[in-house]
Amino acid sequence: MSTYDITLFGLHFKINPIAFTIPIGDGWNVYWYGIIVATGFLLAILYGYKKAKDYKINTDRMTDVILITTPLAVLCARAYYVIFDGSPIHSIKEFFGFSSSSGFAGIAIYGGVIGALVIGSLACFWRKINVLDMYDLTLTAFLIGQGVGRWGNFVNQEAYGAFTGSTFWGMQSNRTILEMGEGLVHPCFLYESIWCIAGFFVLNKISKRRKFSGQIALCYGIWYGFGRGIIELMRTDSLMLGPIRVSSLLSFVACVACAVIMAVILKRQNKKATDKDYTPVFGDETYENTQEEVKEGEDIEQAD
């Protein structure tokens, strides 16, 4: 299906997923999906460079980390999709998308996030960057990339949910009709895009009053995990592990784990602050006790 006829917000769009074709071999198609995802990535990078000084991160070293992490994280996103999609991959060429003009025919954001955290950590150790500070910065930036990138799903007419009665939010296209039948479906890509963009502004604001390194990364896990976990339950194209929606399970686990860790750290910080600010009820108890001990000692000496 080369062109999608889409209805959203009562507006009608006619979109061809292919932006243009590079005349290499039989032709190499460049998709709007890739352009949109790349745009989101670029905006995230620009934000990261602008905010690096606030986290005391050297931008030259950060550049090295980005150059190492980005391509490997994309491969992790591809591998994650292949593992849980269940469709057989017959060759390395097929894994890398060289067997068709479509390139990667399926990636999963969680695979990319996990890969970025693991590989990025190793790169940070190598370039002597505080890992938790880097997490705080990059995960806030991730929300920009994720929020913008989800519109690539709109162009591809994917990441939608079951039928909805909403005539305003509901979406329909020749692809949804072919796969679901007549009716408006939940535009899950839109829900997640809004959730991510809102999360970016929330985390950016919290970062100005950050209490410890890693706090914003934990906030990301709570925010994104909660929203993605719920939105994933609406989707009709979730990656499955038996009867379990993999992304929903991972999202809720991440959300709860990050919330617990956050609560423990904040409780310890509050306890330390309370102990430090302790004021004796009866004045300088240490001084008074010392004076009493000295007086008792003098009385004993006089008695001897």
> pLDDT, tens digit, for every residue of 108-162?
888 889 999 999 999 999 999 999 999 999 999 999 999 999 999 999 999 999 9
Confidence at residue 285, expressed as pLDDT on a 0 to 100 scale: 45
Separation of alpha carbons 193 and 236, rounded Å: 17
The structural domain count of the chain equals 1
* Residue 273 included in any domain: no
Separation of alpha carbons 209 and 216, rounded Å: 10
Query: What is the extent of the structural domain holding 40?
Result: 4-57+130-259
What percentage of the chain carries pLDDT values higher than 70? 84
* Residue 115 included in any domain: no
C-alpha distances in Å from residue 62, one per residue of 37, 111, 119, 237: 21, 21, 13, 36
Radius of gyration of the chain measured on its C-alpha atoms: 27
* Residue 64 included in any domain: no
Contact criterion met (CB below 8 Å) for 159 and 235? yes
* Residue 194 included in any domain: yes
* Residue 216 included in any domain: yes
* Residue 62 included in any domain: no
* Residue 282 included in any domain: no
Find all residues with CB under 8 Å of 196, minimum gap 6, and list them: 143, 144, 146, 147, 150, 224, 227
Across the chain, what does the average pLDDT equal?
86
* Residue 245 included in any domain: yes
Separation of alpha carbons 153 and 253, rounded Å: 25
Confidence at residue 289, expressed as pLDDT on a 0 to 100 scale: 46
What does the block give as tokens for 164? Answer: 């909805």
